[in-house]
Amino acid sequence: MEGSITLSVEKRIGVITFAHPVHNSMPGYLLADLALHIRKAGENPDIRIIVLSSGGDRTFCAGASFDELMTITNAEDGKKFFMGFAQVINAIRKCPKIIIGRVQGKAIGGGVGIASAVDYCMATNYGTIKLSELALGIGPFVIGPAVERKVGLSAFSQLAINATEWQTAAWAKEKGLYHEVFDTVEQMDAYIDSFTQRLANSSPAALTALKQVLWKDTDHWDQLLEERAAISGKLVTTDDAQMAIRASKIV
């Protein structure tokens, strides 16, 4: 079981960092652990603001683990895997604290979904994005609501249908997925440090109330994302999907 999730707390800022040696891809056990860390940070009285980050400097998150996708042979197991992304998104949604995203590199598939789900997202110019699911015979069903909520239906349609083309960090900022984009990781981290400290000095009650306002009209997402996970879980077992996933892994 490769990869790790860590939580560090300093000056009322909780930093959750996920890492995996294969481009920070996410197998099911890491998704479950990430959702658990988000829930625990939300309950920790010593934390006022959460930063969600990943290890390394090349890729923020490559999305679903291809190794695990290739082992799925039935729709039930497929749904269980994709529920991992649903649980992470819903953990972010339900967390009473503002979550800041730190995107140092490219985001693919589920990685775009995680970046879309956070409340405020910082990125570098290397934070290019792509929803590759359709090219794999699946489709971005589980993460779709989070992405569409940030960028709108038209931009989400562009990402979902044009599944092989990268979009720049500038494009992502223009569409509202990223809120700030920096030339270097050092610049981004310096800004995140000062930004989160200012937020941590704000009223906790006001921050929680703002979080609730930002996520208005999403109470149905527990059911919605489970339904979407069932769609992806069924599709991933098809011959078309399995052949596409294996071919992409080889490449």
Q: Does residue 249 have a pLDDT over 80?
A: no
Identify the pLDDT of residue 54.
98
228 C-beta neighbours (distance < 10 Å), count:
23
Q: How far apart are CA 230 and CA 80, in angstroms?
A: 8
The string of pLDDT tens digits covering residues 10-54 is: 999 999 999 999 999 999 999 999 999 999 999 999 999 999 999
Residue 104 · residue 55 · CB < 8 Å: no
Average pLDDT, the chain: 97
The string of pLDDT tens digits covering residues 64-83 is: 999 999 999 999 999 999 99
The string of pLDDT tens digits covering residues 175-214 is: 999 999 999 999 999 999 999 999 999 999 999 999 999 9
Q: Does residue 158 have a pLDDT over 60?
A: yes
> In angstroms, what is the C-alpha Rg of the chain?
17
- The full set of domains in the chain, from first to last, is 4-185 (3.90.226.10)
- Classify burial at 107, counting beta carbons within 10 Å of its beta carbon; exposed 0-12, middle 13-18, buried 19 or more: buried
Q: How far apart are CA 152 and CA 159, in angstroms?
A: 11
The residues, any chain, with a CB within 8 Å of residue 201's CB and separated by 6 or more, are none
Q: Does residue 160 have a pLDDT over 90?
A: yes
Which amino acid type is present at position 67?
D
Q: How far apart are CA 237 and CA 218, in angstroms?
A: 29
